[in-house]
A = this chain, B = another copy of it.
Amino acid sequence: MTDNEQSRPVKTAATSLGILERLKTGGPLGPTALASDLGLAKSTVHRHLKTLEREGFVVLDDDGYRVGLRLLDFGIHARNQHQLYEVAKPKLEELAEQTGEKVWCVTEEQGRGFHLYGAAGKHSVRTPAREGTRSYLHQLAAGKAILSAFPDERVHEIIDQHGLPAKTPHTITDPDELFEELATIRERGFAVNREEIVPKLHAVGVVVTDQTGYPVGAISISGPSNRLKGDRLTDDLADLLLGAANEVEINLNFS
């Protein structure tokens, strides 16, 4: 499963997806700008755009082409496939209300973490994470909680596939260190993140498993480091999360 080298990819399809990707991050663009960015001929990009437009994946307005809401339809569908979303959602809102912080629900796909849903408490701070955001598991409290529930073998696969890229000086970049951390997490039941992805941002995360012990995702609470520290972080909030995760796990068995 470590093999991600594809024998013969469909280059034409990859080109279309590359255009979508570029439009997502690069705002509205025209054929000329896209062509030079992607190293393609104007006419080629134009043809792709018109095809994508026909299907609603991109739309044309005054400023150029943008990603279309057709993708929201697909995205919401992708999210609804995860039972965790619907079950965890009300619990997350409750936690956000109680703690005043930002509460997330994260799941794993292809060795990466995806933010399924976030509930904002009264005092929650703005972070780079949005719904749909894809992150490296080892950079997230929720992600490390998920990793702690995988067999070592699977964690090795993930490291092989994605590495352990750093986001801040505190990010865990050494496999051995990560495995030690995962042992600690398994022991005490929750994961802690101290400025490992965003400076001055801390978080706690707890895994949510199904009946077989497989991690279907994790929930986390994040906030400013000076508010999420000491006992509040490792006792109060961790306990709150452990209870919530436990409830979610039970509800998952009956849906």
CB within 8 Å of B: which residues of A?
Answer: 4, 6-10, 12-17, 20-21, 24, 47-48, 50-57, 59, 66-81, 107, 109-110, 112, 114, 116, 130-134
25 of the cross-chain contacts (CB-CB < 8 Å) are A6-B50, A6-B51, A6-B54, A8-B47, A9-B47, A10-B12, A10-B16, A13-B48, A17-B52, A21-B55, A24-B77, A56-B112, A59-B109, A68-B110, A69-B79, A69-B116, A72-B79, A72-B116, A72-B132, A73-B75, A73-B114, A74-B132, A75-B75, A75-B76, A80-B130
For this chain, the copies found in one complex come to 2
The CA-CA distance from A130 to B72 in the complex, in Å, is 10
Which of A13, A59, A66, A130 has the most C-beta atoms of chain B within 10 angstroms of its own C-beta? Answer: A13
Give Cα A17–Cα B56 distance, bound, in whole angstroms: 10
Are the CB atoms of B9 and A12 closer together than 8 Å? no
Is B12 a contact of A77 with CB atoms below 8 Å? no
A133's partner among B54, B57, B73, B130 (CB-CB below 8 A) is: B73
How many Å lie between the Cα of A214 and that of B112 in the bound state? 41
Q: Is the CB of B54 within 8 A of A131?
A: no
Given A13-B12, A51-B10, A131 contacting B72 (CB threshold 8 A): yes
> Which residues of chain B come closer than 8 Å to A21, judged between CB atoms?
55
CA distance A17 to B54 in the complex (A): 11
A55 touches B17 (CB 8 A): yes
